Amino acid sequence: MKGDIMNVASVLTKDIDHENIVNPYKLLKWLESERGFKLQVPIDVDAIAQKLGIVVKYEFSLPDDAIGQITINNNGDSVVLINLLQNSYLPRRRFTLAHEIGHYCLHRNSAKKIFVDSKQSMSRTASYWDTYESAANNFAAQLLMPKKLIFDEGVKIVETLKAEGGGVAKKDDFVSKIAEKFEVSNQAMEYRLKKLGIIS
Ligand SMILES: [Zn+2]
């Protein structure tokens, strides 16, 4: 059984042209056209890992400060470990997996093959000076909250809030509604919306 899974993973991995997955926009396009991925909200991050041939394992036994890690193997299984104790909150788990997918897509041809992630490496501010980690965090944000889907869903949510609020949509309500829809944290969504210039 284990052998079967490994074969599938290596077949899936073999015909991935690195150029096709080097940013979240290209990755989603490629998954849609080549892997039958359905682009919809919330982004199915587990399906993305699976379609890339990444094996995801959930562990209780990782050190407390390890949130997740990936071991990149270009000739076989790349394995993501998710620390269940640190990822019980769904948006956290989704962001962790998206971050590890970011390492896979961005860093699979780099000399570094194992990335161990802590609160520090996964924090936007604390990872600012670390090129690998800040790139993986940006990748995760863009993958989970693609610009076009944010605009499409955002318009609908604002309309609903206005209808309910006598013509006025409150910013905080908007952030939590759209975060809930994308299954990301309010904090991650707020930062993304600011980046896109949707809120100030
Ligand atoms: Zn990382």
Predicted local distance difference test score (pLDDT) of residue 77: 87
> 70 CA distance to ligand 1 centroid (A)?
8
> 168 CA distance to ligand 1 centroid (A)?
40
Look at residue 15 and tell me if it is in a domain. Answer: yes
125-179 pLDDT, tens digit per residue, is 888 889 999 999 999 999 999 999 999 999 999 999 999 999 999 999 999 999 9
What DSSP assignment string belongs to the chain? -HHHHHHHHHHHHHT--GGGGSSHHHHHHHHHHHH-----SSP-HHHHHHHTTEEEEEES-S-TT--EEEE--TTS-EEEEEEGGG--SHHHHHHHHHHHHHHHHHHTTSS--EEEE-TTTT-TTTTTT-HHHHHHHHHHHHHHS-HHHHHHHHHHHHHHHHHHTTT---HHHHHHHHHHHHT--HHHHHHHHHHTTS--
> 107 CA distance to ligand 1 centroid (A)?
10
Domain co-membership, 64 together with 132: yes
Predicted local distance difference test score (pLDDT) of residue 9: 59
> 94 CA distance to ligand 1 centroid (A)?
14
Domain co-membership, 106 together with 66: yes
Domain co-membership, 136 together with 152: no
Domain boundary among 144, 163, 187: 144
Domain co-membership, 163 together with 122: no
> 65 CA distance to ligand 1 centroid (A)?
13
Look at residue 111 and tell me if it is in a domain. Answer: yes
CATH code for the domain of 115:
1.10.10
> 121 CA distance to ligand 1 centroid (A)?
6
Range of the domain at 167: 147-195
Predicted local distance difference test score (pLDDT) of residue 1: 45
Look at residue 200 and tell me if it is in a domain. Answer: no
78-105 pLDDT, tens digit per residue, is 999 999 999 999 999 999 999 999 999 9
> 71 CA distance to ligand 1 centroid (A)?
11
Domain co-membership, 83 together with 155: no
Domain co-membership, 72 together with 38: yes
The strand order across the sheet containing 114-117 reads: 54-59, 78-83, 68-71, 114-117
> 122 CA distance to ligand 1 centroid (A)?
6
> 152 CA distance to ligand 1 centroid (A)?
30
Report pTM: 0.91
> 76 CA distance to ligand 1 centroid (A)?
20
> 106 CA distance to ligand 1 centroid (A)?
11
> 143 CA distance to ligand 1 centroid (A)?
15
